[in-house]
Amino acid sequence: MIKRTLFFSNPAYLSTKNEQLVVNFPEEEKEDKTIPIEDLGFVVLENPQITLTNGLLMKLVQNKTAVITCDKQHLPCSFLQPLVGHTEQTVRYRHQLDASVPLRKQLWQQTVMAKINNQAMHLKRLGKYSLKLERWATEVKSGDTQNHEAVAAAHYFQNLFDLEGFSRNQKGVPPNNLLNYGYAILRAITARAIVSSGMLPSVGIFHHNKYNPFSLADDVMEPYRPYVDALVNDLVQSGCNLEELTTKIKVELLQIPAMDVAIDGKKSLLMNAVSRTTNSLYECFYGSSRKILYPDFQ
């Protein structure tokens, strides 16, 4: 089932009735709009003058709908997640926390290889074949001790956009602003899938910053980044003004959960593919598998 993404950029009053999300725009003389809560995957709240009832929040969380709020710069800054995301959550936490260092290093090796391969395939689709990326993907060792992930990323972004002197920097020139927004959405998608798979998003396989509550999400989302890059590159090629994150651009970027990806030889929505990835990761922690299932960029 395709889950919907709702984006609210205007003042609104959100409540619930009969298992529906009820939307009222106080500044507009229109009838209330209703959307079935079971159809919702993500709700993005951008305007600071949005009011929600506690009853609605409860139903959204129970439906495992990701509620994302934005800061003054209109960038996603928080993500509401349920306390209980899986019926076997406690035992799954234990398997995750007990994962050995060698296993974590092997899982990070697989993640980096998948990311670099997808970066190489993205450039190839753009007619920018990179033998370096293909070679580096095969040279990644357990734990990525030679930091191929960073080296490959620098090379990839130097060749991705037809923009002179572009480099990836969160505070850099456009389209870094578009990448920041897209990656924030991807991070929320990944965190939602991790919680639904009964794991802790704060305990990573590689990232481990005590101030980062989404370390595992930052790990798992790495091979999915090229899909965001592809969407941003399409916006760059369209010739639109990149200086400001307009509502139109945000609407385009909010298509990320519903993007088509290929995983395990089949087409899938990105948000569903991420859930397959997190489920396969748990199987690695549990010991029934040694391989994370990641998408193949096509």
Burial class (CB in 10 A: 0-12, 13-18, 19+), 175: buried
| Distance between start and end Cα atoms, the chain | 23
Tokens 């790495």 -> residue: 222
Residue 266: how many other CB atoms lie within 10 Å: 9
Torsion of CA 37, 38, 44, 45, to 10 degrees: 20
Q: Any binding-site annotation on 207?
A: yes
Burial class (CB in 10 A: 0-12, 13-18, 19+), 287: exposed
Both structure tokens of 28: 């507009």
Q: Any binding-site annotation on 149?
A: yes
| Cβ-count burial 219-254 (b if 16+ within 10 Å, e if not) | bbbbbbbbbbbbbbbebbeeeeebeebeeebbebbb
Q: Any binding-site annotation on 222?
A: yes
Cis, bond preceding 175 (omega within 30 deg of 0): yes
Query: Residue 31 and residue 25: Cα distance in Å, rounded?
Result: 9
Please answer whether residues 42 and 274 qualify as being in contact, where contact means their C-beta atoms are separated by less than 8 angstroms: no
> Residues marked as binding?
149, 207, 222
> Residues marked as binding for Mn(2+)?
149, 207, 222
